[in-house]
Structure 1
Amino acid sequence: MSQDLLLDVRHLKTQFHTKAGEIPAVDDVSIRLEKGKILGLVGESGSGKSVTGFSIMGLIDEPGRVVGGEIYFQGRDLRTLSGKQMRQIRGNRIAMIFQDPMMTLNPVLRIDTQMVETLQAHEKISYKQAWARARDTLGLMGIPSPETRLKAYPHQLSGGMRQRVAIAIALLLRPDLIIADEPTTALDVTIQAQILSEVQNLTRQYGTALIWITHDLSVVAGLADDLSVMYAGRIVESGTVDQVLDQPQHPYTVGLIHSLPGNNVRGQRLAQIKGMTPNLLDLPAGCAFSPRCPRASRACEVRPEFTDQGGQHLVRCFHPGSQLAGGVA
């Protein structure tokens, strides 16, 4: 095993039990992430990417449960740890940034109280030292007048500022891994670009690994080192960002790229992937994407396994290729 390998998720399966049956939200997902690297996890809503992040963090609540696979973090299988052991790792060695910063921030406590308590919960540190570190971390996130912001309550900050504070709290303990679940989706593009740049610089500076969960390929294009594309609970394509975006092999990946506004001719209708995402309770036999795929054939009635397209560029498809006859719409 590589000394730089930080996270090794093997054949992860997470299901939600409902009256209608078991929903395979995450189905045989494997991820490898090295120190200081950024992985983009991309897919439509309902593809399972957020549930993958919550499964790694051990935050799946009933009626959901992780039913299979291994989650090795620094060589330890997180699935074998007790609740107390997991709480010591969560927030300390692994942190999560949520789409809604109010899932991180307590609305009735000042920012300095929340940041100082976070530090003192995991480290033996004085209030003065913790306060100074909180102030410096806010400054690293590009927050102006950090001393003033520390004295504010969450409702006194703008949405973009609250998200920066939430990210600062995630970075406060210098975790080895951060899982970011679409934290910039609700922000305007200017603030989004600033936060992406700051997060990228900080993770590289401290050697922190990052999983950036998003539905927006344009976000991860300039941020991530590697990219995994999810569909209906499975990773259908993975590789370096350049491999996946410059030479996409799965029809779904090609469809996502073609549907970006910048890839469409001005004045014409936006390209789109035909059909709808499948009901996870009633997945088609074989490849889940086959009902929407212009290349589907009888071979697709069997579930495809990964094939290597070269240089660890993996794809689950019987008809891989960057150009699709007849387009994607």
Structure 2
Amino acid sequence: MSNISSERNLLPPKSDLEANQTTPVEVVSSSELTTEEWSDRIFLERQVERAFYAAAKALKALRDRRLYRSTHATFEDYCRSRFGFTHRHVNYLIAGSLVVDNLMGTNGSQIENSDKTGTNGSQVENLDEMGTNGSQIENSDETGTNGSQILPTSERQVRPLVPLEPEQQRQAWQKAVELAGGKIPSGRIVQDIVDKIRERTKVPNPYRLGEVCTLLPKDNPELKGRSGCWGVITHVGDYSCTLETWDAEYTVKIEHLKSLELLDNDCQFMQQLCARLRRLHEIENRDIAVDWLCLGLGKQPLPYLSPLQEKLLADVEQEYGLR
């Protein structure tokens, strides 16, 4: 409890009214934190700022126990304000920690020391045994179910494993460690192993021609800056698709796509809109305002235009003789 005790000065001070009361009265609303919850929150926040695994476990505890509720309405707002984390990044961290649990064969119980999820700070104290670089999970004598004590130290190393079944995760990680010469493999090595597993298992491509999807850059440098851009699938391969956006075509793996799950009529509208934007983009010596309009609509994944948006687009098309 030494770490928690050292943080007592950070707890909200009691008011003078509370200090003068002769009979202690504790009034806790649904949004207020108890003293012990404040201690736990401060400690867990310190873990989030440290190693990937400890951070993920701390975030999960903060989320599950709603320790953000006294200052933020949602967990997403709390993570963005307190740590600068997007909702997607937090999901990656937590999902990655579950993969590590599987690789250790512990479901998290080893790291949390089988604590019964008490609220007195004992559960979060065990997280500090991780250290600041994830070394504990690498050195523990009981960690490896894969014949190795080498375990991930970065979320990116395990991100490709998330979609796999637990047994496939362990097999893929073991193979990646072997290819890395018995050292911690890079995310690229792990991704290559996962791709080969998919080739063997023949996972069907879930997308279809004409479907409207958004791009998910993830770890693909070619998609940097394209997050949220929508487009229409023009080719479906075994493990990839070609997506046509307002200004380019991208052939990407299926994990870099997210379907908007639109009805057929809505897909047809988006297909027509994409074609209209592409015609404008192909005009030489066009005004820069054209690209501003196309860029805005090209990141608006909605199967309709507002009356003003339709008027602006139609006026620009008429300006360049496309109507």
TM-score by structure 2 length? 0.24
Instruction: Pick the structure with greater CA Rg.
Output: 2
User: Normalized per residue, which structure has more strand?
Assistant: 1
Q: Which has the higher contact order (CA 8 A, sep 6+)?
A: 1
